[in-house]
Structure 1
Amino acid sequence: MKARHDQHFLRDRRAIERIVALSEVSGRNVLEIGPGEGVLTAALLQAGAKVTAIELDPSLVEGLEERFAGEIRAGTFTLIHGDAVRVPYPAFDIVVANLPYSASSPITFRLLDAGFERAVLMYQREFAERMAAPVGTPECGRLSVMVQTYAEVKLCFNLPPGAFSPPPQVASTVVRLTPHEPPHYIADREVYAAVVRELFSHRRKTVRNGLRGGRGALGAENVERAIAGLPEEILSMRPEELSLMVFALIANLCTASA
């Protein structure tokens, strides 16, 4: 079957077993994004999960409805036809997904906002490694900072293109995310996200110049207040050199007083 909507169907049975084991789904409400032909779905149901799946491709939706008609009647499987980037998410405990690589970033950020007990997600290997890059190192970026602010990132195992049909042109990595509270106080999560976004959109600039370049998004008064409150040592650094504590400090200084 030709992959649609950037989908590559996982065929490796051992990988499916490992994903289910990592997910610990027995008796839990599981959100599956991009179930495709339902191979992983069947394994999740067999492991005792109650599954809600979001699928965009109408031809795959039809096949899933036929394959899991009994589970739909029994109430153990619910299928949502829609785009996981936009459709409202149902209540769930655990999320498991072979994510379409082109939508990995927006879906990951949506999941972090929604909240979950744990997530076992498959990404393009390069994307997964960027997500796990230590904050404060040259390899880190907006993705690293935003995900690690709200979750522990564990790279679990890699999969070659041959584990999928049709095979993608890149290797894949299964990642487990375990949410935690931010390690430092954040006054406004939206301002924090905007600060991280603006600084990394000007990542070759110093913090001072990056903030001033983001005045349109952050507000000129907020930016100047933050600059006035930061030591020169921080203002002269690049965003990839900053710790999570410093990102939180900058964001809190940029947060307008009530």
Structure 2
Amino acid sequence: MRAPHDQHFLADSNAVEKIAGFTDVNNKRVLEIGPGRGVLTRALLKRGAKVIAVELDSTLIPYLESVFEKEISSGNLTIINGDAIKCNIPPFEKVVANLPYSASSKITFRLIKTGFEEAVLMYQKEFAQRMIALPGTSDCGRLSIMVQTYAKVMPLLELGPESFSPPPEVDSWVVKITPKKELTYPIKDHKLYADIIRVLFSNRRKTVKKGLKNSSSILGEERIKNLLSCLPDEILKKRPQELTLKEFSDISNCA
């Protein structure tokens, strides 16, 4: 796991085994982001996974290629030196990773957009708590709504700083993310839905009505005009964090 300016390697062997065992990876193409020194990589390989490891730090690549030379030559491990936010990634079925703190949000959004069977991911505790914050609560934000729209999130494990070397200044949570087979509420235009959530939460202190009026450059004046005319006052007077998943769906489908 990485902090914004440091590398914090998972050093707790029991935690490594638990994380690798939280989902069945046997004969699965498993994406690992930020393998670091490869302790989780090895645990996944032992469980029969075919691992695609994406590592941003180029100084770690020679080490990983040396340690896992056999697994690479057999085709069980592919190492990519790149940024998981934007680099090309081969097809995968599951994700098991200790995500970089600083890129957690962007990577999570990319994974949800790409699609997967199941993901076991480690986050900074406060980030994971925002992810599971219920709609209508003060901690609810763009992350909460986007993740909960498309997936179910279950906390699995909490780890303190002592589980890492060197220890970070924060606690960490491991969560399981399982995409929904069917959305709880229908969405006509998924890009528009994401755009509306983004613009509303960028104006989270304003009412929905004011937030929409401030977003003509993104949503377009005609669309905003339609929204303001068809949405009930009950929704327009709320702030974004007060809206339910159904209400976000209603706003998007009304546009």
Paired residues for 1:161-172 under 5 Å:
161-172=161-172
Residue in 1 that maps onto 2:81: 81
Partner of 1:194: 195
* Residue 9 (str. 1) matches residue 9 (str. 2): yes
Report what 1:222 is aligned to.
223
User: Map of 1:104-123 to 2, 5 A cutoff?
Assistant: 104-123=104-123
Deviation string 1:64-85 (CA, Å, 9 cap, x unpaired) is 0000000011110110111111
Change (3 A) 1:3 1:232: closer
TM-align CA RMSD: 1.3
Structure 1 residues 94-153: Cα deviation after superposition (integer angstroms, max 9, x where no partner): 001111100000000000011000000000000000000011212111100000001101
Query: Given that residues 3 and 168 in structure 2 are in contact (C-alpha distance below 8 angstroms), is that contact kept between their aligned partners in structure 1?
Result: no
Q: Which amino acid aligns with 1:154?
A: M
Pair 1:4–1:225, CA change in 2 (3 A):
closer
Describe the shift of the 1:137–1:4 C-alpha distance in structure 2 as closer, same or farther (beyond 3 A).
closer
Letter of the aligned partner of 2:101 in structure 1?
Y
CA drift at 1:5: 6.0
Is the CA contact 1:6–1:102 (under 8 Å) kept in the aligned structure 2? no
Change (3 A) 1:3 1:233: closer
The reply on whether 1:182 has 2:192 as its aligned counterpart is no
- The AA in structure 2 aligned to 1:159 is L
Does the aligned pair in 1 maintain the 2:4–2:100 contact within 8 Å? no
Instruction: List per-residue Cα deviations over 1:194-249 (Å, max 9, x = no partner).
Output: 10011111111111111111111111110110111111111111111111111011
Equivalent pairs counted in the alignment come to 253
1:179 to partner: Cα distance: 0.3
Task: Name 1:64's counterpart in structure 2.
Answer: 64
Name the structure 1 match of 2:41: 41
TM-score by length of 2: 0.96
Number of the residue aligned with 1:99: 99
Q: Secondary structure at the match of 1:186?
A: coil
Structure 2 contact 3–101 (Cα < 8 Å) conserved:
no
Q: 1:24 to 1:5 in 2, by over 3 A?
A: farther
Matched, 1:18 2:18: yes
Distance, in Å, in 2 between the alignment partners of 1:220 and 1:136 is 28
Aligned to 1:134: 134
The structural deviation recorded for 1:182 is 2.3
Letter in 2 for 1:215: S
Is the Cα–Cα contact under 8 Å of residues 195 and 219 in structure 2 kept in the other structure?
A: yes
Distance 1:234 1:4 in 2: 38
Q: How does 1:134-153 map to 2 (within 5 A)?
A: 134-153=134-153
Q: How does 1:204-215 map to 2 (within 5 A)?
A: 204-215=205-216
Q: Which residue pairs with 1:124 in the alignment? A: 124
TM-score (norm 1): 0.95
Distance 1:230 1:3, change over 3 A: closer
Q: Following the alignment from structure 1 to structure 2, what is the Cα–Cα distance between the partners of residues 18 and 237?
A: 42
Which residue number corresponds to residue 51 of structure 2? 51
Does residue 235 of structure 1 match 2:213? no
Q: Percent identity?
A: 55
